[in-house]
Each structure stands twice: as C-alpha cells, then as structure tokens.
Amino acid sequence: MTSLSLASILAGGYRNFGAPASLLRTLAFLPSYSITKHRRKNAISFRSNKRDFACQTSNLEPAYTSTSTSSVNGHFEYDRLLPCPSFNRPPRVEHLVVLEETRVLDYICQALDLPPLFVADLIHFGAVHYALVCPQPPPTATPEQVSLFEEVTAPEVLKNRASIKGKTKREAQKTFRVTHADQFLEPGMYLRVHVHPKRFPRCYEIDWKSRIIDVTKTFVVLDKPAGTSVGGTIDNIEESCATFATRALGLTTPLKTTHQIDNCTEGCVVLARSKGYCSVFHGKIREKTVQKLYLALSASPLPIGVITHYMRPVNVAPRLVSEEFVKGWTLCKLEVLECKKVPWPDAITEEEYSISDSWWPTKDYAYECKVNLLTGRTHQIRAQFAACGAPLVGDSMYMPAAIAEIENPGINPFGKHKKQFNDKDEDIAEWIEEHGIKPFGKYEKQFNDEDDDESSAIADWVLKHGKEPLIAIGLQACQISWDDGKHTYNAGSPWWRRRISENAD
C-alpha cells in the first residue's frame, strides 16, 4: 500500500510544481504493482475512439507495459505512465455512468480493469473528467445500457440528489477534472476516462531555463519549443509548457496560459503568474492591442501584401478556407511583410524535427516569410498559405492537400479553380453555413443525386489532408508586443536556422 499512497499523493488535489521532472522519472521506477482483474460491473460504459494519434513507428514500446507472462495468481505487471514513451498509444476514451457510491480511484479500477497506480497517474495527468449528470447515451449504446442510464437519471431520482439542487440540467452536465484519487462519486454521475493520454516526450528533452525570455512580477515570456503544448490538452495537463516552465523557475504557484499557439509551432508565448493578470492579458487580446509577428517557412514564394480568406466555422482540423465570402464563415487576414529565398532544411535537421516533405516536388529552396497576423484563428497561417499553393515546410496536414490541388486543379471546392455547382445546391450550402458541419455524416440530410456532388467534393477535399505533424513545422511566433510596443519580446533563431548558426560559430 506504500506505493499506492505515494501515487495518491501525486494525484492529490494539487499539482506538485516544485517537483522536478527527474523526481517523476524516479517515481516511474518504483516496484510494479500487481492487481487481479475484476469483472466489470456497476457501471454503464461507452467506448470512444474518435481521436487519431500518429505513431512514429509501429514497433516502439507501449506507454505502459502489460507483460504477456502472468504470475501464478493471474496478476500482471505495470510500469506507470513515466518514463514518457516516444509515441502515442492508440486512442481509447471510456465513458461511464456511476451506479454506486464509491471512491473514484476504486471505481475506475473496477469498471475498466485498470491497476490503481495507473489510474492515479491518469488523475494526476488530468485525464479523468466528471459531471454531476451524464449526457445522453451515444447512438451505439445497447438497450441494456440505455435502460440503466434512464434508471439512474430519472427525474424522481435526480430530484433527491442534493448535489444538483438549484442547478439547471445543462449546468449539472458540465464536466470538470477529477483532481483527487479519493474524490467520492454518487450514483448518476458521469465519468470520462482518457485511458491513453496524448504524450509529449519533447518536454523531457528541453533545457527549459534556456527558453525563458523574461520574468516579471506579473508574467513570464517563454520561447516555446516545437512539439510541446502551451497549457496541456484535455487529457494531459502534466506535460505542458506551463508546468515545465513553472518547475524550471522554481515557482510555487503554477503559471497560467493566456493564449495558444499550435503544438508544432515554436516561439513567444506569455504565461501569467496570477489569475488577475491572466484576465488582464485576455482583455488586451480582445481589444486587439496585442500584436504577433511570425516567421513562416513556406515551400513556395508568396507576394508581399494582405491575404484574405474565410474559414469554415467547424472546430476540427483540417480548417477549410475559401477565397470567396461565405455567409457564416470567419474572416482570416494576414499580411506578408517579407519573403526571401533560403536553403531548404538539410537532412539532419529534418530528421531531428521529424520534418515530412509529403513528397513535395522541389526541395532545393524554401521561402522565409515574415507575417503580421491581423486575425488570430486556429491554423490560420497554415491553412491560408496552403490555400495559396505555398504550404509550410513540414506541415504534413496541409501540404498533401496543396499538392493534390496542384496536380488536379479544381479538387478544392473552395479554391480559385473550384467547380461551379448549379442553383439546386444552395440548400447544401445553407446546411453547411447553418450547422457548421459536413452534410455527409451518419445522420446526413438527404439531398437528391445532383445535390450530392458538392457534399462529396467537400468530403473528398477533407480526405486530401494528412495528419498533424509529429514535432515541428516551418512556423515561429518570432515576436509579441502589447501596450503600443511598451512590452516587446523576440524569440531566438527558428529551428531551421539553428544548424546554420551552429556551423558558422
């Protein structure tokens, strides 16, 4: 029980920001904990595998070890979530409806046949979420699961639960992170368990002190490394820039995220030292007093000037953009200030940063562009550059689509060479604009054969995009400033220049 108690401490109601990564690695080598597998009971379980994590190779070690050789009593060994693997395990998200009062650690262990140390690590990583009332079961639920759900969430049952009195149904269904392994659950509560959190091995390879640009009483400016998350993900708040920068500075209060840049992007980010300044900086962003300059390494040149697109309002990648105005779509504007020819990154640099060329036809030169981001949208520079036929070097998501458009002009239903559909297709466009979703899913709206042309074109275009890059792309947030330049900070040399600088030295 000693090891379990230690894991519980780690997974307790706080995050141990004073503990260095080396200590966590040491904890990973504690003696393995054995447990007899339980028969799943007293839980409604729905499995979801919607997320798609890319693996570097297929023969790497798994994130945790479950040996094929069992002991005589049927137990199996377990090696914790640390040390961090160099890849992500296949997605696995479990949805549970609680049917009995118990401790969250014990409940998940029993319901999902998981070892206690592993569940404690999941809680510490922020990979377990709860809600007072479960959302509706998914369409894949069995009649038995639906019946059990209705039993524990019936109005006459819910009205007797003191925890949800005074709350609307929507408020009661809001999810929160489980922060303590000893947190008690009550019947009818909902749990979402990300059994295979997305991992960020780069966090353990970085000299974080060398990435600190400035430290003030109210904020910290960090030169974020590529291949890391600013504030963590929905299933992993442990392996984040905020966490590791906090430890590197020896702070007792965790740094807070004020804005985001993509995991595969490097450069300047501002982390607040208090909730108060976090709100202040959010206000500056809303008032558009924060200016961001980027260096973008593109595969083709772009003209100097303002580039305008409209982005589909769907919160999922890839982000689709249109050169023409589409009702309900979001305005995207950036200004290319400079564009100069530079050498394409050499093979050693490409290997170090896992740069994929996606079979781009020419690799003699790349083009370094300085970009003034006039509107801040997710994937904006990546999507706009690709739409102009100049995808970013290493962008394995948008470069394949750009190549497809070059090889087959008109395949992009929102590009300059797009196919013109007849007036009968207006109801499809209206459907997209109204719902912000593709009209060709499981519950697709039924159109006639002629109307299917445009929806099929959109579906085909989405499939032309690839997967998210493993580590880096040719994009750096090179400068951030606010208060009319009173605060101005610059990142170091972008990754594609560092090897050249090192050779010059």
Catalytically active residues are 262
> Could you tell me whether strands 475-482 and 266-272 are parallel, antiparallel, or unpaired per DSSP bridges?
parallel
Ordered DSSP codes for 411-480: -STTSTTPPPPPGGGHHHHHHHHHH-S-TTSTTPPP--TTTHHHHHHHHHHHHTS-PPPSS--SEEEEEE
Burial class (CB in 10 A: 0-12, 13-18, 19+), 103: middle
The β-bridge partners of 338 are 370
Burial class (CB in 10 A: 0-12, 13-18, 19+), 71: exposed
Cα distance between residue 417 and residue 427, in whole Å:
22
Cα distance between residue 183 and residue 231, in whole Å:
24
Q: Is the dihedral of CA 357, 372, 282, 280 positive or negative?
A: positive
Cα distance between residue 311 and residue 252, in whole Å:
41
Cα distance between residue 149 and residue 99, in whole Å:
9
For 131, phi then psi, to 5°, come to -140, 150
Q: What angle do CA 207, 26, 89 make, to 5 degrees?
A: 80
Structure tokens at 324: 């023409």
